[in-house]
Structure 1
Amino acid sequence: MITDPTAVALLIGTFFILIVLGVHIAFAIGVATVITTIYIGIPLMTVAQNMVKGINVYAIMAVPFFIVAGEIMGSGGISRRLIELSNALIGWVRGGLAMVNIMASMFFGGISGSSAADTSSIGSVLIPMMKKAGYDGEFSTAVTMTSSVQGILIPPSHNMVLFALVVGGVSIGELFLAGLVPGLFLGLVLMIFVYFISKKRNYPMGDKFEPKKALKTTWEAGLGLGTVLIVVGGVVSGIFTATESAAIAVVYAFIITFFVYREIPISEFWYILGRSVKTLSIVMILVATASAFGWIIAYLKIPAYLTESILGFSENKYVVLMIINVLLLFLGMVMDMASLILILAPILLPIVTAVGVDPVHFGVIMILNLGVGLITPPVGSTLFIGSAIAGIKIERLSKAMIPFYIVILATLMAVTYIPEISLFIPTLFMR
């Protein structure tokens, strides 16, 4: 039973009112926590202590390194090389450029770990290219945005690190491996879908397959993809921790970008650091305030109440997972992904584990689920980026996205109800 219903109403009500008023979510969380703490009569020092506790964690140091590594590789010509590699491998089939888009996102996602970065880098090149080749602008943009969701699943993903950090006791290495097959599976499903659409609309084929060109582009792009091998290989083998592998990845990315590819001057590094710090500052403020928010939620026994309510409705694992999926899909449409991970993961994990869901499996479900929110109105950040790049209104894009929503939701259901898709590789290598 909730200890103080008025305090709960004050906490949740203040939070949503501030969101509606346009206050940044990190500050909305913090202000709601402070007001509720004052109402309850607990010293405000407790809020400060929990904020510091939230960011005073060794594992969180991996996040800034991943952000910097992704920024470096995204700025240094890797996206162009990944597009050339994808084109050499699969551009020769019907609808080849659409498949190149999906495959390039698959590769780039393993470097940036960000749907927004993926759409910005890949979309700025491929959307105009696809439109010039005869593809519809809405279709080209929809392919780009939907395939970018692979970036938050395919390792290394800083969202996976945030999930592991906030729930505790879940291996980052296992989460990395668990996201690999679902990410590739999403890409495969999208490729099959766009192939049939391309045949129906008679979209063009690319140049024929050339083995020499494929080998050359593989070598050039492979140097950039080495970042992924360093992180995943180091963590899974136990040679490095996630933080250590992320730091090494930054050094590797720096060398490849500025001394091997050499497409941008080394002076650009300071601008890259500036963008990274801007992103990191938002993440760290969010982690700190979410930590205090999580503490007040636990103090008011909201997790216990939700667990009791959901399990009281049904203890069937499949029904519970469907309820949670619907909840996450709805919240993902109106709130930021990282915020929802930090707030909801500690609340929902005890519920799903009570009905026998593996924590690693649930981590993948949650990440993919919230990834749908990134491409869904009204606040999907990737949707706005795609709209800006393509010069197409959100309303038109949302309509064009309907069949893609069906595809990605079908993928979500498969990942949710077939745990082996997520757990096969972690079980094979780390259990």
Structure 2
Amino acid sequence: MDLALQAALLLFFIIGILLVVGVPISISVGIGSMVAMFSIVGFNNGLVSSAQRLFTGMNSFTLLAIPFFVLAGVIMNNGGIALRLINLAKVLSGRLPGSLAHTNVVANMLFGSISGSAVASAAAVGQTMSPLQKKEGYKQEFSAAVNIGSAPAGMIIPPSNTLIVYSLASGGTSIAALFIAGYLPGILWGLACMAVIFFMARRQKMPTSERVSMKQAFRTFLQAIPSLLLIVIVIGGIVGGIFTATEGSAIAVLYSLILSFIYRSIKIKDMPDIFLAATRTTVIVIFLIGVSMIMSWVMAFTNIPALLANSLFGFTDNIILILLLMNLVLLVIGTFLDPTPAILIFTPIFWPIAQSYGVDPVHFGIMIVINLSIGTITPPMGPVLFVGTKVAGLRLESVLKPLMPFFFATVVVLLLVTFIPEITLIVPELLGLFD
């Protein structure tokens, strides 16, 4: 048997077996990649090469933004910021039918745009909104579906760790352009969820919130301004070239920490637990990036990307069919693979094909992230799905049916973003980020 084919079969066989028996994906990818490398260059050389690839993969200044943004998200989650954003969301959602459900969506968009984490949004917003909606007579399964379906908007609206990973995997696509490009698609995701709620609320005659006075609305807005300023400072600074994404992430930590101390919602004694929680998340993400680099070497040696591309796309040169097929593959991959390794594995495979047809790297990156964001709410592995059901205290099966309309709505958003590039590119172009 050809050495390259043998290594490829060994790689996927070991990863598949380890995932089936419940080994974490980072360990599965690392062990499978190392064993495949051993079969190519021998044990001693493979051990050294694996260590070098692991270190090289993690030795990036850009990647420093991830632990800082994760830490900022954890601080916000514990620092009283979520509650102020939820209060603002109540004002913004007005007196629409099913207004508390609309509030949940707006709150996830606001909190996600600050924390950069869909899981953090689902946990923080869900813990507050679930009891409120239950008290108002909303079905718990519907409330959980609303929270789960809208939380991934935080993966698209900046700052977004997944967009930073894509920038690395695609060879250095501008993070500033990616961040700004995420705004309209992220807002579109939230509006799609609100459209589903509107029609369901009208049909099921869901309750409407009490009218908020102008005085109360103004006070709520003032209370939320310090939290919202974080977006202006961090994203404005990155886009304006005042500092890099990495430096902006450090500023986000400092700002959110000062704000939380001012709110007196975090004390010095809480900091070890906050650092530990952020470290656990960061280690998983960064280690995944490192082992994915070992896998990338093996895949390059075995020529897997070219073989896969030829088998999947060799029958057509129609860009519409190719993008549809890419979307379909990524939607399936996203159901059982975490966004970070999925981006690192499939961007080097799909991006050269898309590039050959003139697809913009920023547009392509947003398309990939939306695909994998949908995967986070889809069984069997969807992390947002599991967190959302856990927060609501429900069984997974009970949430799937009310979640389906939100799933289809987000797929519509994906198709719109895929085939109308202007949705993604117009804002970065207006700001001159492509010059």
Structure 1 position 3, deviation (Å): 7.0
1:155 corresponds to: 158
34-43 or 238-247, which deviates more: 34-43
Q: Secondary structure at the match of 1:79?
A: helix
1:416 alignment partner AA: T
Does residue 112 of structure 1 match 2:115?
Answer: yes
Structure 1 position 344, deviation (Å): 1.4
104-113 or 223-232, which deviates more: 223-232
1:278 alignment partner AA: R
* Alignment deviations for residues 390-417 of structure 1 (CA, whole Å, 9 cap, x no partner): 1221111112211111111111111111
* Alignment deviations for residues 234-267 of structure 1 (CA, whole Å, 9 cap, x no partner): 1111110111111111111111111x21123232
Q: For residues 287 and 92 of structure 2, what CA distance do their matches in structure 1 show?
A: 42
Does residue 87 of structure 1 match 2:90?
Answer: yes
2:316 alignment partner AA: S
Structure 1 position 385, deviation (Å): 1.2
Structure 1 position 23, deviation (Å): 0.9
Structure 1 position 300, deviation (Å): 1.4
1:37 alignment partner AA: M
Closer, same or farther: CA 3–314 of 1 in aligned 2, 3 Å: farther
Q: Secondary structure at the match of 1:267?
A: helix
1:266 alignment partner AA: I
1:178-327 pair list within 5 angstroms: 178-258=181-261, 260-327=262-329
2:36 alignment partner AA: T
Q: For residues 343 and 38 of structure 1, what CA distance do their matches in structure 2 show?
A: 20
8 Å Cα contact 1:316-1:355 kept in structure 2: no
1:409 corresponds to: 411
Structure 1 position 147, deviation (Å): 0.5
8 Å Cα contact 1:159-1:338 kept in structure 2: yes
* Alignment deviations for residues 173-204 of structure 1 (CA, whole Å, 9 cap, x no partner): 01101111000011112212211211111111
Q: For residues 90 and 7 of structure 1, what CA distance do their matches in structure 2 show?
A: 55
2:117 alignment partner AA: S
8 Å Cα contact 2:75-2:260 kept in structure 1: yes
Of residues 334, 338, 349, the one that matches 1:336 is 338
1:3-152 pair list within 5 angstroms: 4-42=4-42, 43-44=45-46, 45-152=48-155
Of residues 343, 354, 364, the one that matches 2:356 is 354
Q: For residues 313 and 212 of structure 1, what CA distance do their matches in structure 2 show?
A: 63
8 Å Cα contact 1:317-1:356 kept in structure 2: no
8 Å Cα contact 1:114-1:151 kept in structure 2: yes
Q: For residues 150 and 10 of structure 1, what CA distance do their matches in structure 2 show?
A: 37
Q: Secondary structure at the match of 2:190?
A: helix
Q: Secondary structure at the match of 1:313?
A: coil
RMSD: 1.3
* Alignment deviations for residues 207-248 of structure 1 (CA, whole Å, 9 cap, x no partner): 114222222111211211222222211111111011111111
Task: Mark the runs of 5 or more structure 2 residues left unpaired by the alignment.
Answer: none
Q: For residues 308 and 331 of structure 1, what CA distance do their matches in structure 2 show?
A: 18
Q: For residues 230 and 23 of structure 2, what CA distance do their matches in structure 1 show?
A: 36
Task: Mark the runs of 5 or more structure 1 residues left unpaired by the alignment.
Answer: none
8 Å Cα contact 2:3-2:40 kept in structure 1: no
1:418 alignment partner AA: I
Q: Secondary structure at the match of 1:377?
A: coil
Structure 1 position 306, deviation (Å): 2.4
2:368 corresponds to: 366
Structure 1 position 143, deviation (Å): 0.5
8 Å Cα contact 1:88-1:210 kept in structure 2: no
Q: For residues 88 and 181 of structure 1, what CA distance do their matches in structure 2 show?
A: 21
8 Å Cα contact 2:4-2:301 kept in structure 1: no
Q: For residues 53 and 410 of structure 2, what CA distance do their matches in structure 1 show?
A: 37
Does residue 423 of structure 1 match 2:429?
Answer: no
Q: Secondary structure at the match of 1:232?
A: helix
* Alignment deviations for residues 79-116 of structure 1 (CA, whole Å, 9 cap, x no partner): 11111111122242221101100100110001111111
1:35 alignment partner AA: V
8 Å Cα contact 2:111-2:154 kept in structure 1: yes
Q: For residues 230 and 317 of structure 2, what CA distance do their matches in structure 1 show?
A: 43
Q: For residues 391 and 250 of structure 1, what CA distance do their matches in structure 2 show?
A: 31
Number of corresponding residues: 429
Q: TM-score, normalised by structure 2?
A: 0.96
Q: TM-score, normalised by structure 1?
A: 0.97
Q: For residues 239 and 199 of structure 2, what CA distance do their matches in structure 1 show?
A: 37
Q: Secondary structure at the match of 2:414?
A: helix
Structure 1 position 7, deviation (Å): 1.5
Closer, same or farther: CA 317–3 of 1 in aligned 2, 3 Å: farther
Structure 1 position 316, deviation (Å): 1.1
Structure 1 position 164, deviation (Å): 0.5
8 Å Cα contact 2:170-2:347 kept in structure 1: yes
1:348 alignment partner AA: F
8 Å Cα contact 1:90-1:99 kept in structure 2: yes
